């Protein structure tokens, strides 16, 4: 089966019902996407499929074979420049253990792609409520999302 992950075509030989998370991690070797609960409850496994956040632990690989998939590794520009959300995460010292951070960042990127500079606290609460941070860095996450929103370019 052929997949488009982070702009690159990859071929994998796995059963159709294999969770996308395991294909990304075990078959493709991209380990930034994390396993958390395995039930789509914690958000650690969040990736983008067709630009929308998706819980990869419960997504059958066969359901995404014709869609672009972006993992945390795919956010960084080809010149090594961090995505504005990644840069804001660093500037605000968001991570402690780092376990949930790739899922948090992917959810935040999707939120800002939709809301941009108009993002409100209510938008952040709604978009991020399904992503659990065991260290409780929620105030820093909110601050980083707002910083990233302010750093984003206006759409042309």
98-131 per-position pLDDT tens digit: 889 999 999 999 999 999 999 999 999 999 999 9
Helix (H) or strand (E) run with residue 111 in it: helix 101-115
> Is 10 a residue whose pLDDT tops 90?
yes
Model's pTM, two decimal places?
Answer: 0.93
d(CA 38, CA 94): 24
Query: Cβ(34)–Cβ(121) under 8 Å?
Result: no
**pLDDT of res. 77:** 84
Annotated domain spans of the chain = 2-73, 84-151
Degrees, nearest 5: CA angle 145-33-53: 55
Handedness of CA 64, 65, 68, 70 (dihedral sign): positive
Q: Do domains 2-73 and 84-151 have the same CATH topology?
A: no
Confidence label for 78 from pLDDT (cuts 50, 70 and 90): confident
**pLDDT of res. 154:** 59
Query: Cβ(119)–Cβ(111) under 8 Å?
Result: yes
Confidence label for 155 from pLDDT (cuts 50, 70 and 90): low
Residues facing residue 46 across a β-bridge: 55
- CATH number of 2-73: 3.40.640.10, 3.10.20.30, 3.20.20.480, 2.60.120.620? 3.10.20.30
Its CATH class, for the domain covering 84-151, is mainly alpha
Strand pairing class (2-5; 68-70): parallel
């Amino acid at each position: 089966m052929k997949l488009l992950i982070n702009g690159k075509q990859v071929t994998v030989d796995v059963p159709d019902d294999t969770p996308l998370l395991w294909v990304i991690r075990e078959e493709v070797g991209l380990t930034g996407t994390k396993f958390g609960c395995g039930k789509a409850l914690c958000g650690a496994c969040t990736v983008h499929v067709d630009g929308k956040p998706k819980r990869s632990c419960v997504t059958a690989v066969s359901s995404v074979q014709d869609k672009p998939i972006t993992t945390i590794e795919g956010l960084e520009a080809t010149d090594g420049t961090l995505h504005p959300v990644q840069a804001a995460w660093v500037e605000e010292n968001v991570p402690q253990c780092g376990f949930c951070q790739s899922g948090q960042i992917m959810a935040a990127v999707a939120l800002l792609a939709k809301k941009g500079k108009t993002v409100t606290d209510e938008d952040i609460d709604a978009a991020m409520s399904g992503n659990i941070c065991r260290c409780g860095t929620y105030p820093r996450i909110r601050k980083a999302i707002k910083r990233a929103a302010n750093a984003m370019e206006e759409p042309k």
